[in-house]
Amino acid sequence: MGAVEITPDPSRTLSASSLSPIVARRRDHQPCGRRAQHEASSEHLRYRFQRTNAQLAMALTTMPQGLCMFDGAFQLVVCNDRYRAL
């Protein structure tokens, strides 16, 4: 199977409200200034996104079933090579 590339939707942004409560609490309790806290939070979000993206890509690439996901407007958001072959 070929590689799966997942690109973020530019109209959607990560914010404090999109974090899990555990990550949000961790972010709020960092013992650094506001600017350093924002930079640390941004770096952590970037790391989480990259890690999750890699895990999802690996799962989609290795699964034998065809998989697709649509958004609320019924637009295709994610699919794997097996689904494309159907």
Q: How confident is the model at residue 76 (pLDDT cuts 50, 70, 90)?
A: very high
Task: Name the amino acid, one letter, at 54.
Answer: A
Domains of the chain, residue spans: 16-85
Task: Name the amino acid, one letter, at 12.
Answer: R
CA distance 37 to 11: 25
Please indicate whether residue 11 or residue 51 has the higher confidence score (pLDDT). 51
pTM of the model: 0.45
pLDDT above 60 for 25: no
